[in-house]
Amino acid sequence: MHPEARPSLDMNQSSNGCQKKIGIVNLDTLINDFSQIEKKMLETTGKNNILEMQLEKTNCLLKGMQTKEVSLKEECAALHDMVKGLQQTIEYQHNLKGENEHLKRNADLMKEKLKSHEQEYKNNITKLMSEMKMKEEGHKLEIKKLCQDMQKKVELNEEKNKEQIEKMEVEISELSEKLRTQEKDKQNEIIKLHLEFDAKLARVQTKPKPYPDSTALPQSIYRRKLQHLQEEKNKEIAILRNTIHDLERRLSVGNDSHLKRRRF
């Protein structure tokens, strides 16, 4: 019940009591009672004012608390969202950590494979170098053998060329001697023919001349015969000279090849 209702009830009860006892209660007592009642009413009014002030203050505090509660709820919601975001971040980082560990393991495996391949590559290089060295030694022996065989062949060819050169020199000498002999025979035959021609010409000239041109015919016949003989001899001499020139050329070629082989 509200505090203001109590004084009004007391006043009604007092009025009823005063009306019943008005004949027996004196005025001083009534004034005194009224003063007490008024005092109580003032006290009750003061208390009501204080209570109203406290109620207003409490309402203000309640509104403040409600506002603070809303703010705290909003802050809690923000903190909840933040916690949720942090949980997602932690979960993402955890996943990244797992992925990083997986990548690290793969990287370690790749490093091991790389080391294995490098060692295998080095072993293959060593093996190839050894095989190359063996083949190089084999090639050196083959080259040495080929050089020896070539040297033997060159020496044999030199001997053959030397024999051929000597044979060709003998042939050239013989042909040169034959050429000189033929030239000498040719000169002798020409001289002989000239002598015969001169003797016949002298006999013809000493005989009587029945016709003016009787000596011209034998002279022309002898001249043609002499010219034909000279041409035949010149052909034989040219053939011999060409043969000698060819032999000399072959001889010079053989000497050049012999010198080149010596240089080689």
pLDDT at site 188 = 82
**pLDDT tens across 61-79, in order?**
898 888 988 988 898 899 9
How far apart, in Å, are the Cα atoms of 35 and each of 17, 30, 31, 232? 16, 8, 6, 200
pLDDT at site 7 = 43
d(CA 168, CA 82): 117
Domain ranges of the chain: 5-105, 150-263
pLDDT at site 1 = 41
Average pLDDT over residues 211-217: 47
d(CA 43, CA 252): 164
pLDDT at site 264 = 47
d(CA 233, CA 261): 42
Average pLDDT over residues 147-171: 82
Percentage of the chain lying above the pLDDT 90 cut: 2
**pLDDT tens across 93-134, in order?**
888 888 888 888 888 888 888 888 888 888 999 998 988 888
Structure token digits, residue 2: 């509200």
Average pLDDT over residues 45-58: 90
Whole-prediction pTM value?
A: 0.31
pLDDT of 18 over the 60 cut: no
More confident residue, 182 or 42: 42
**pLDDT tens across 181-207, in order?**
877 887 787 777 777 767 766 776 675
Structure token digits, residue 83: 């916690």
Cα dihedral: 154, 155, 156, 161 (round 10): 80
CB distance 175 to 243 below 8 Å:
yes
